[in-house]
Amino acid sequence: MENLNQLKNLLSTPKDIVIFSHRNPDGDALGSSLGLAHFLLAQHHSVKIILPSEYPNYLNWMVGVEDIVIYDLIPEHAKLVIEKADIFFCLDFNSLDRIDKCGDLMMKQSAPKVVIDHHLFPENFADFILSDTTASSTSELIFDFIHLLDQSKYLVPATADALYVGIVSDTGSFLYNTSSKVFRITATLLDRGVDDVSIQNRLHNNLEIKQLKIIGHCLNKRLEILEEYATALVTITKEDYAEFDIQRGDTEGIVNMLMRIQNIKVAVLITEQPTIVKLSMRSKGDFSVQEIATKHFKGGGHKNASGAASFIGLKSTVRKFKELLPLYAEQLSQN
């Protein structure tokens, strides 16, 4: 991070700090935000996390979530918090459109802006940037940031727990985006008191009956195997959303489940939402779903885990995705 000493000086006295993360926050968005928040609170800063939209219910046990400001629910309060800020931290996103109206409000303020993120092609809107596209997660980078500041004594248990959640989430419980560094960081977090078994149980073993029914429906009625391209595809329609009362977070993990199928290299979940169609993609080995997301759907993410949006309807999106697969037939046919 360039100008690190300047940022250290800014943080040397208590400040009003606002932390942003992206719309439809996942485990890494919350993990990195809460992890940084607890670290800063331990140094007597005043900290508020603002998210454009609500976080999924399966993360509602995390320490500090009750204090998060959701812009969609209380926009006027969020605006007041933004106007009061001395410093802004932008975590797990590198494009202002990922935080919607919050981005416009932030850019009207003269307070310094810090980006900590691991996605490709960051926009140039921040005064300080810590960006590493090889990192497993933004939570990993928060760990790095704490050590860059030489403030590891403030890596309190709540921070350690939150960063562990973020790393577990963005590595699919250490199935992808891993490295020896990730495991060293995880070991350090466990040494700080993280109860990994308890957290993994909270993340993965707390499904409601409704969610199991959704999974069963998807696997029984919506699963399509494209053997020629080693691809598994599940679509969820508006009718499915209505029939099963699907809410935010209810489809979490379905795309990862498809990766368990023998000989499958690519898994895709395509969901029909009120105004857009969303694609969640996973892959094994060297095949890059990031290329598909970025090149063909204006999405992004990582080589083995990416997402995108489409505005051409569910059927047209599914057809477009299938028509792309022959372009990658040679790669997908390799052992």
Query: Using an 8 Å Cβ cutoff, are 32 and 61 in contact?
Result: no
Per-residue pLDDT tens over the stretch 203-258:
988 888 999 999 999 999 999 999 999 999 999 999 999 999 998 888 988 999 99
DSSP letter assigned to residue 321: H
Could you count the other beta carbons within 10 Å of the beta carbon of residue 39? 26
- Residue 226's pLDDT is 97
- Could you tell me the residue ranges of all domains in the chain? 4-204, 209-333
Query: Using an 8 Å Cβ cutoff, are 114 and 93 in contact?
Result: no
- Structure tokens, 301: 């993410």
> Which residue, among 95, 153, 149, 154, has the nearest Cα to 126 in the 3D structure?
95
- Residue 104's pLDDT is 97
**Alpha-carbon span 229 to 37, nearest angstrom:** 44
Query: Using an 8 Å Cβ cutoff, are 115 and 90 in contact?
Result: yes
**Alpha-carbon span 230 to 143, nearest angstrom:** 37
Secondary-structure class of domain 209-333 per CATH? alpha beta
Q: Which helix (H) or strand (E) holds 283?
A: strand 277-283
**Alpha-carbon span 180 to 194, nearest angstrom:** 19
- Residue 91's pLDDT is 98
**Which pTM value belongs to this model?**
0.89
Radius of gyration of the chain (CA): 20
3-state secondary structure of 69: strand
Tell the CATH topology of 4-204: inorganic pyrophosphatase (n-terminal core) (3.90.1640)
Q: Measuring CA to CA, how many Å separate 250 from each of 128, 133, 184, 271, 309?
A: 36, 28, 32, 12, 18
- Residue 79's pLDDT is 98
> Which residue, among 136, 252, 220, 229, has the nearest Cα to 185 in the 3D structure?
136
Phi/psi zone of residue 77: left (φ > 0), alpha (ψ -120 to 50 degrees), beta? alpha
- Residue 335's pLDDT is 62
Phi/psi zone of residue 333: left (φ > 0), alpha (ψ -120 to 50 degrees), beta? alpha
**Alpha-carbon span 47 to 64, nearest angstrom:** 11
3-state secondary structure of 172: coil
Query: Using an 8 Å Cβ cutoff, are 324 and 296 in contact?
Result: yes
Q: What residues in the chain have per-residue pLDDT under 50?
A: none
Query: Using an 8 Å Cβ cutoff, are 7 and 1 in contact?
Result: yes
